[in-house]
Amino acid sequence: MKTKIAGTALVLFDVINTNYKKSIIVLLLIFGSKMMAQTNENKALADNLKWSERTALTILNKYPKAWQIDGTEKPKWDYKMSLVLTAFEKLYQKTNDKKYFNYIKEYADEMIDSSGNIKKYDLKEYNIDYVNPGKLLFNLYDETKDNRYLKVIQQLRTQLETQPRTASGGFWHKQIYPNQMWIDGLYMAEPFYTQYTVKYENGKALDDVAKQFELVQNHLVDKKTGLVYQAWDESKQIGWANPETGTSPTIWGRGIGWYMMALVETLDYYPKTNPHYKVLVGYLNQISKNVLKYKSESGLWYQVTDKPELKDNFLESSSSAMIIYSLAKGADKGYLASNYKKIAQKSFDTFVKEFVKKGENGEVVISNVSSNVGLGGKPFRDGTNEYYIKSKTKDNSSPALAAFLLSATQLNK
């Protein structure tokens, strides 16, 4: 009899226990849903934010860790992250809001181990894109005195010291692209290279920095338009190269943006007393004057910049924002005449109307961002006008978010 009662009690206990667990689960689900709703409510952005802050908060909300930018699945030392974080650095310098600084620092600390080595970095790849994130470490080191940052800065300087070069002295873009200079490589390397040599080497490499830009002027600038091609093969051997000039076939809007940003950010550190300083300012004035000839009536730029009439060619957001930022900064710094600032402001306003919408939580959504395009490789990318025009566009890819943040910060918008 006692056994039966005990068994019944156990059954009742199990039923009560199961029902209790179910109740707890239901309560947790309800509570969790309310918390999620509150979190989403908290993430709704205020109506009175400047575009710069709205863009930065959009990025912070979507990518809590900077290595996640563009949906990256694993931590990666990459120029996309550093492009965005460079914009965060400029916003931090303007606002002194520590959350922007912390976002940069968390990325660096995720990517640099306790011994001061970049995780999964292989010097032998000689990928010039890997130099770009090094720009973030100068300020981090100055503020924290963490020697890991200085060690990485030195590692990247070593890469440039041994980076393969074309016969005339230009940095190869990567080990796998022999004899080739790519226009974005100027942005990836020269601002870092200039800052390093001025800060730590008494400017000994300034002539070499100027040489990289001189090679662009001599070989990548189109004689007819004054705009730049994406790449140049000094050997003229690769399939995409013009047999006479060695240039790739297309003048790509974002390529122009990379080059203009390379100039304005290199000039941040290039001493005015150096004879090459005026030469670099001259290059910036030349490309700025020429790029204005190819803007749309509304003040924006096309994917294939010099051929707006091509079928399916489109106004492209990242290139437009990069150019706007470069014109505004160039004018503010005195490299360009003051009227370029007014042009930048007008184009910025058009950019917002053309490309920018607010999502349901007030976040920034930027349309018509060209997907990443390249040359060579497998399958072979021929770099024709058609190849660039057919590249799929996306919303909120990093080049557009970063360049819009840069231009908004520069214009105090």
Tell me the one-letter amino acid at 34. K
Structure tokens at 91: 């916003």
Please pick, among 184, 207, 349, 382, the residue that the annotation labels catalytic: 184
3-state per-residue secondary structure call for the chain: CHHHHHHHHHHHHHHHHHHHHHHHHHHHHHHHHHHHHHHHHHHCCCCCCCHHHHHHHHHHHHCCCHHHHHHCCCCCCCHHHHHHHHHHHHHHHHHCCHHHHHHHHHHHHHHECCCCCECCCCHHHCCHHHHHHHHHHHHHHHHHCCHHHHHHHHHHHHHHHHCCECCCCCECCCCCCCCEEEHHHHHHHHHHHHHHHHHHCCCCCHHHHHHHHHHHHHHCECCCCCCECCEEECCCCCCCCCCCCCECCCCEHHHHHHHHHHHHHHCCCCCCCCHHHHHHHHHHHHHHHHHHCCCCCCCCCECECCCCCCCCCCECHHHHHHHHHHHHHHHHHCCCCCHHHHHHHHHHHHHHHHHEEECCCCCEEECCEECCCCCECCCCECCCHHHHHCCCEECCCHHHHHHHHHHHHHCCC
Told to judge if 184 belongs to the known catalytic residues of this protein, a careful annotator would answer: yes
CA dist 50 to 322, 350, 366, Å? 19, 16, 15
CA 272, 265, 170, 320 torsion-angle sign: negative
Structure tokens at 244: 């006479």
CA 220, 221, 223, 229 torsion-angle sign: positive
Quote the DSSP letter at residue 35: H
| SS3 (DSSP) at 236 | coil
CA 218, 220, 222, 225 torsion-angle sign: negative
Residues with active-site annotation: 184
